[in-house]
Amino acid sequence: MPTINPERLLGDLRTLRSFGATGPGVVRLSLSPIDIDARRWLVERMNDAGLDAQIDGVGNVLGRSRKPGPALLIGSHTDTQPTGGWLDGALGVIYGLEVARALAESDDTRHLALDVASWIDEEGTFSGFLGSRSFIGGEHDASVDDAIRCARNRDGQLLHHALQAAGLAGRPRVRLERARHIGYLEPHIEQGGRLEASGNAIGVVTTIVGMRELRVRFTGQRNHAGTTPMSIRRDAGATLVAFIARMDDAFRALADADTVWTVGRIDLDPGSLSVVPGQADLYLQFRDGDAARLRAMETALAALVREFDARGPVGVVLETLDAAIEPVTMDPAMQEHVARAAQAVSPGRWVRMPSGAAHDAQLFAAHLPACMLFVPSIGGVSHDFIEDTADEHIVLGCQVAAAAAASILLEAAGNR
């Protein structure tokens, strides 16, 4: 089994953290000057590790092994949320770098090919999953081209202007090599509290959940809050509140322990204490790993909308905000490699579990055998400056990733 170097691993993670460090967290938005600096540093570290590294025409960093293959691809992202943690995405990229070095330092594995990537804009500063979509290509090419032309960040900067400012416009885009790449492994922090609560150190991901994002709009009548009797009001806000209570009951009747739903935003018009709201919007997201359950939740929600709309006096309509995202099952054979590695490195302290968050791996799964492994998040916190993972778990997870990568590659080499 290849052996990682904990001090080197933690040192690289902490150096990457310094690019955009803000208190305990990091602000490193895609294609910002500090993000480009971090990507240039990453290229240097990959080259030092014996990989041929480059930043491509959308900002992806790819370190390609000089070995002929078959090659395993390990990747994640190094961009952050506007108030991001230091490990979300970054952990998986630096794991890949350290695993590449560990494989090269072992006589048993130095002949194996491991490619390492940091995908641009997983977090959606301009266009979510831009880097992995660009790398996969094919059906994603049109959407990537559209994003390069038209996508803007929250400050209004066009993506193609950001690429020009970074000196990347016109560079070739790296692509998936289907004759070379045999699988994709994405290590990541859990971004939840299940591992910590159960006392486990490693999660072997079974499924990345599907997601629906919708808006329910309630249309009543604005009126004076002091002079309009309750009996004749068409109060969109009050109807929205009653709707949420019924929706919770309907969803709970369908849910299992992994089902989640969130009312992430409510807008009241005009939003004044002295005006009965004439319009109210509820923005809803729900996630589950079971496609049938997601469909049942959609059906239940639509039925509830029809019921409230029919009884009045407030009109209710349902609108889909974004295309449905279906659950994605991780490759069973890849899962087994990770599970065996977890048992060898951390016997009895690992568990199979779904991912409640979206990841680049869900795009790769349609094109390559793909899997993920998780390490615990302290307090279950992520997408926040206080996001953290114990050094012990960071090191342990990387050793599991190294063992799994070696197992996958040795098996592939033996079958060719």
Residues 131 and 12 in one domain: yes
Enclosing domain of residue 14: 6-208+327-414
Q: What is the CATH number of the domain that holds 225?
A: 3.30.70.360
Is residue 304 assigned to a domain? yes
Interval 365-374 mean pLDDT? 97
CB contact at 8 A, 314 and 219: yes
Is residue 188 marked as binding? yes
**Residue length of the chain:** 416
Task: Consult the annotation and say whether 105 binds a ligand.
Answer: no
Flag whether 398 is in a domain. Answer: yes
Which of 320, 348, 367 lies at the terminal end of a domain, its last residue?
320
Q: Is 383 annotated as a binding residue?
A: yes
Please give the Cα distance from 240 to 251 (Å, whole number): 16
pLDDT value of position 416 = 58
Give the number of other CB atoms < 10 A from CB of residue 86.
25
Radius of gyration of the chain (CA): 24
- Coil, helix or strand for 219? strand
Q: State phi, psi for 67 to the nearest 5 degrees.
A: -75, 150
Q: Let me know if residue 1 belongs to a domain.
A: no
The whole-angstrom distance between residue 303's C-alpha and the CA centroid of its chain comes to 31
Whether residues 147 and 265 share a domain: the answer is no
The predicted pLDDT at position 281 comes to: 98
The reply to whether 193 and 225 lie within a common domain is no
Q: Is 131:31 a contact under the CB 8 Å cutoff? A: no
In whole angstroms, give the CA distance from residue 416 to residue 285: 45
Answer whether residue 185 is part of any domain. yes
User: Based on the domain organization, do 109 and 196 belong to the same domain?
Assistant: yes
For residue 97 the two structure tokens come to 């770098």
356 and 406 fall within a common domain: yes
Tokens representing 140?
């994603």
User: Where among 285, 320, 355 does a domain terminate?
Assistant: 320
Are 11 and 138 members of one domain? Answer: yes
What tokens appear for 178 in the block? 């289907």
Q: Quick one: 223 and 335 in the same domain?
A: no
77 annotated as ligand-binding: yes
Q: What per-residue confidence (pLDDT) applies to 1?
A: 83
Reported as a single tens digit per residue, the pLDDT across 245-302 is 999 999 999 999 999 999 999 999 999 999 999 999 999 999 999 999 999 999 999 9
Question: What pLDDT score does 323 carry?
Answer: 83
Which residues touch 120 (CB under 8 Å, ≥6 apart)?
30, 31, 58, 59, 60, 77, 79, 130, 131, 134
Q: Report the CATH number at residue 178.
A: 3.40.630.10
User: Is 276 found in the same domain as 287?
Assistant: yes
The residue type of 98 is E
Same domain, 29 and 105: yes
Q: Are 9 and 94 in contact (CB under 8 A)?
A: yes
Is 190 annotated among the ligand-binding residues? no
- Looking up tokens 């967290």, which residue turns up? 25
Domain-embedded: residue 285: yes
Same domain, residue pair 352 and 314: no
- Residue 237 shares a structural domain with residue 150: no
CA distance 298 to 339: 34
Q: Give the model's pLDDT for residue 372.
A: 98
Q: Which of 320, 336, 352 is the last residue of a domain?
A: 320
| Neighbouring-strand partners of residue 152 | 158
204 and 87, same domain (yes or no):
yes
Q: What is the dihedral of CA 387, 392, 397, 398, to 10 degrees?
A: 100
- Say if residue 415's pLDDT is above 90: no
> For the chain, what is the domain count?
2
